């Protein structure tokens, strides 16, 4: 029986990708949609905690070498964001956030309000150099030979996944083929775990009681069983975690 309220609620264009992936088997498509929501919820929690740890690590680092108002001073005349024309976006992000916070502004609220994208770009070439090229120090367990650009690329990948989830885009498909697969999200999850280790954290302890990603991936892998007598989609098995975050895609 067609669940018309379900289709109306989420819109036909959004649901079509699931229908196509499930060869227009409506019940399987509905199940896949709900599994994707559960996987997204679990993954978003892990990314959210990673974001908090990352921004707090950056704040502690710069506070220790520049003083507590390091970010506010960066946008003052002759501050490092003011002095670098290539850091204009970061400069305006800080100024606009301080303005929007108004009377509720504190240094902590400023740090908490700035986006994951802002913190990611602290490792872009220009912003990393403008701030003094010391920020790699927040990753004490990084592999030898890890450079600023490696951190930046990894953070861009994590932020891309975060934004996809925040905009309710599916994370249960391969981008290139549209096939149902846990491999992309498994790689992204493995990247977060590895970078938590680089930050000096114990991922199991940090994520205790929060992390349900592997269980949700298992649900995705086992929810739809391929059958030779039907046109059911094949759930591709998750791949082993990458040996190094340098190789995560």
Note whether 135 and 231 are within 8 A (CB). Answer: no
Going by pLDDT thresholds of 50, 70 and 90, the confidence category of residue 229 is: very low
pLDDT at 230 over 50: no
Q: For residue 239, what pLDDT is reported? A: 41
The number of helix segments (H) and strand segments (E) in the chain equals: 13, 0
Angle at 197 between CA 210 and CA 114, to 5 degrees: 65
Going by pLDDT thresholds of 50, 70 and 90, the confidence category of residue 242 is: very low
Query: Residue 7: phi, psi to the nearest 5?
Result: -65, -40
pLDDT at 96 over 90: yes
What's the rounded Cα separation, in Å, for the pair 142 and 54? 14
- Beta partners for residue 173, in sequence order: 180
Q: For residue 85, what pLDDT is reported? A: 87
Mean pLDDT confidence for 210-238: 69
Q: For residue 197, what pLDDT is reported? A: 98
DSSP 181: B
Going by pLDDT thresholds of 50, 70 and 90, the confidence category of residue 192 is: very high
**Residues of 170-179 as b/e, b for ≥16 C-beta within 10 angstroms?**
bbbbeeeeee
Query: Residue 180: phi, psi to the nearest 5?
Result: -65, 130
* C-alpha to C-alpha distances, 52 to 4, 78, 116, 191, nearest whole angstrom: 40, 29, 9, 16
3-state secondary structure of 207: coil
Mean pLDDT confidence for 38-57: 98
Mean pLDDT confidence for 112-137: 97
Virtual CA dihedral for 225, 228, 231, 233, nearest 10 degrees? Answer: 30
Angle at 216 between CA 212 and CA 221, to 5 degrees: 150
Q: Alpha-carbon torsion 179, 181, 183, 189, what sign?
A: positive
What's the rounded Cα separation, in Å, for the pair 125 and 239? 32
Portion of the chain with pLDDT greater than 90, in percent: 77
């Amino acid at each position: 029986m067609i669940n018309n309220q379900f289709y109306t609620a989420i819109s036909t264009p959004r649901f079509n990708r699931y229908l196509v992936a499930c060869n227009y088997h409506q019940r399987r498509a509905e199940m896949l949609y709900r599994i994707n929501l559960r996987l997204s919820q679990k993954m978003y929690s892990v990314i959210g905690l990673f974001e908090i740890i990352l921004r707090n690590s950056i704040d502690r680092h710069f506070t220790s070498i520049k003083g507590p108002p390091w970010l506010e001073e960066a946008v003052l005349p002759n501050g490092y964001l003011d002095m670098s024309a290539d850091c204009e976006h970061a400069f305006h992000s800080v100024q606009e956030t301080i303005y929007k916070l108004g009377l509720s502004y504190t240094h902590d609220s400023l740090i908490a309000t700035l986006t994951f994208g802002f913190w990611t770009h602290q490792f872009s070439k220009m912003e990393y150099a403008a701030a003094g090229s010391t920020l790699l120090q927040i990753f004490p367990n990084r592999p030898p030979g890890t450079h600023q650009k490696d951190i930046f690329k990894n953070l861009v990948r994590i932020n891309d996944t975060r934004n996809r989830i925040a905009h309710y885009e599916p994370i249960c498909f391969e981008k290139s083929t549209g096939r149902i697969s846990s491999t992309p999200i498994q790689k992204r999850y493995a990247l977060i775990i590895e970078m938590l280790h680089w930050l000096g954290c114990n991922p199991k302890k940090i994520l205790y009681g929060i992390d349900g990603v592997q269980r949700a991936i298992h649900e995705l892998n086992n929810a739809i069983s391929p059958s030779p007598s039907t046109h059911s989609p094949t759930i591709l098995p998750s791949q082993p975690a990458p040996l190094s975050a340098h190789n995560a895609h």
